[in-house]
Chain A
Amino acid sequence: MKAFDSYNPIVLFVYFLTVTVISMFAFNPVMIAIALVSGFLSTLTLAREGCGRFFIYAAFIFIVTSAANPVFSHNGVTVLFVMNDNPVTLEAVLYGVAMGTLICAILMLMRIFTKIMTGDKMLYIMGSASPKLALLISMTFRFIPLFHRQAVKTERTQRALGRYTEENAIDTIRMKLKIFSMMTTWGLENGIVTADSMSARGYGTGRRTSFSVYRFRRTDAVLLAVLAVFAGTIAYLIATDAVKFSYYPKMSGIAHTPAAIVCYVLYGLMCMLPVMNELEEKIKWRYLESRILGSPIR
C-alpha cells in the first residue's frame, strides 16, 4: 500500500486524467523532460516490481518512435544528410526524440495508473456511472479464477481418463481447444445457474446500487482543490502560448519568461505529487519511530 492509495478513487482518477491530458499537450522540451524524470521517479517509488523489464520495453518503444519521424517527415530547415533522395533534418530528428520521450513518459504514467487504480477502484468509479456495467465487470473478475480452477480440473480428468494426447503440436492444440470447448459448455450452464440464483435473490427487482468502502475525506477535497488550481493555471498558460515551442520549420528558443517558469514548476509539482506523498509518509513514519525510541518509556 502506497500513501497515494489512500485517496478517494475518484480523486485519483481525476489526478491521472489531468496529468495525462496535460502531458499529452506538453510539446515543450522542458515539460517533456519533467514528465520523463517524474515518470521515472514515480516508477521507482510506486511501481518498482518488474520495472527493469518495463524500462527495456520503454527504451525499445523510444527507439522505434523517435527513429520513425525523421524517416517520414522532411520538414525543417537544417538538413543533416540526404537519404534515398530525401533530406533528413535536425528538426525532424529532435521532434522524433521529443515525441518518443513523451510516449515513454505516458507509458510510465499509465503503468503507475494500472498499479494504483486496481480493479476495485475502477469498479467504484464505473459503478457510480453505470451499475449494470460495473456488475458485468465485477462478475467477469470473479469468473476468471473460477474458470481457471475448473479448466485445471477438466484437464486432469481428461488425462486420468486417458483421453488427453499430446504427441505432436497439432494434438496439443486440438486438446487445448477441446478443453476450451468443454469449459464453454460448463461456463454457460454454470452461468445460467448463477443467473437463476441471482433472480431468486431479487436481482433486477429494484434499482441497482453499488457498495463501496471509499469515503470522501477532507484530504481528498484538498487534493482536488490543489489539482484544480494547478491544472487551471497550467492550462491557461499553455492556452496563452506562454510555453509555446515549435519544432518546424526551425526550432524556437525555450521560453523562460516568469510565466513559463511558473508553468514548469507547477507542472513538475503536479507530476511529482505521488512521489512527494510517498516520501512525506516515509518521513513521517521515521519521525514517529524515532520519537518513540527516544521517549522515556522504552
Chain B
Amino acid sequence: MVVIKSSGLRAALKIIIPFIAIPALVLIGVYVFEDKMYAYISLVITILSIVLFISGFEQRKIGTRRMVLVVVLTVMSVVGRFFPLIKPVTAITVIAGIYLGGEAGFLVGAISAVISNFFWGQGPWTPFQMFAWGLIGLIAGLAAKPLKKSRAVLLTYGALAGMLFSFIMDIWTVLWYNNGFDVKLYLAAISTAVPMTVVYAASNVIFLFFLADPIGRKLDRIKTVYGI
C-alpha cells in the first residue's frame, strides 16, 4: 500500500493538515453536523496532528544512534508499565524530552502508548493517549533548560504532567459519553479520577526524583562518549 511514500506529498501534508484540514474539519463540525460530532472531530484532529508530527519525523534525517536511543527509552517506559500501580512512562518521556529534545520526547511518549496498548487493549482512546504523552514529552523538550537546572521545577512539571494526562483523557471521555462538552460532567469525570490522578502525579514525582539524575547522567555520558 502506498500512503505517504513520496516526499513531495509528505511535504504537502505538512502544510495541508494544519492550515486546511484541521480548520475545515472544525467548520464542518460547526455548520454541517450542527455541533453534534465533537468526539469524532476531536478524534480525527488528534490523529491528524500525530500524522503531522510523524511526517515531519519521517522527512528529517536523524542519526541511527539517536533513533536507537529513542527506542531504548521507549522500551524502558513500556517495561515499566508492568509494575503494579505506579507507571514510569511519563517520567521517562519527560527525561527523553529534556535530554534528547522535544521530538524524541514526543516519540517516546506516543510510541509507548501504542506499544503498551498492544498489551492493555487498543481503542479509540489510543490516539488520545499518544497525543497526551507525546505532548508531555514535547513540552519537556521545549522547556529543557529550566527543567534541567532546577529540581523543584522538574518535580512540579512531573506532577502537572500527571494531571495534564488525566485531564486530556477526561476531555475525550466526556465528549464521547455526552456527545458534546459538558462542564459539570467534566468536573465529575475529573473528580472520580482524582485517586488515579494522584497516583499518576505521585508516581511521576517519585520516578523523576529517583531516575531523572541517574538516567540524565547516563544519557549525557552516552552523548559525550559517542558524539550524538
Contacts and interface: CB of A to CB of B under 8 A. Distances in A.
Nearest to A199: B64
A144 B78 contact: yes
Contacts of A198: 64, 68
B226 interface: yes
B71 A139 contact: yes
Contact of B74 (A122, A140, A183): A140
Q: Kindly name the residue among B40, B124, B177, B218 whose own CB sees the greatest number of chain A CB atoms within 10 A.
A: B177
Contact of B57 (A73, A133, A140, A188): A133
B2 interface: yes
B111 to A, nearest CB: 6
B76 interface: yes
A194 B70 CA distance: 13
Interface stretch (A103-111, A160-168, A288-296): A103-111
Contact of A188 (B54, B64, B72, B111): B72
A187 B222 contact: no
A143 B124 CA distance: 26
B124 A119 contact: no
Nearest to A183: B76
**Prevailing SS type, chain B contact patch:** helix
A191 B121 contact: no
Contacts of A175: none
Contact of B121 (A65, A69, A111, A151): A111
B34 to A, nearest CB: 12
Nearest to B177: A99
Contacts of B64: 195-196, 198-199, 203-204
B123 A139 contact: no
Contacts of A203: 64
Nearest to A10: B1
Nearest to A110: B123
Contacts of A204: 61, 64
Chain B residues touching A, range: 35 or more
Contacts of B88: 180
Given A72-B184, A188-B69, A188-B222, A140 B3 contact: no
A21 interface: yes
A196 B211 contact: no
Interface in A190-215: 190-192, 194-196, 198-199, 203-204
A117 interface: yes
B176 A24 contact: yes
Interface in B1-51: 1-4, 39-40
B65 interface: yes
Contact of A189 (B124, B182, B222): B222
Top 4 nearest A-B pairs (CB, nearest first) are A110-B123, A195-B68, A128-B1, A195-B65
Interface of A: 10, 20-21, 24, 27, 64-65, 68-69, 71-73, 99, 103, 106-107, 110-111, 113-114, 117, 119, 122, 125, 128-133, 135-137, 139-141, 143-144, 147-148, 151, 176-177, 180-181, 183-185, 187-192, 194-196, 198-199, 203-204
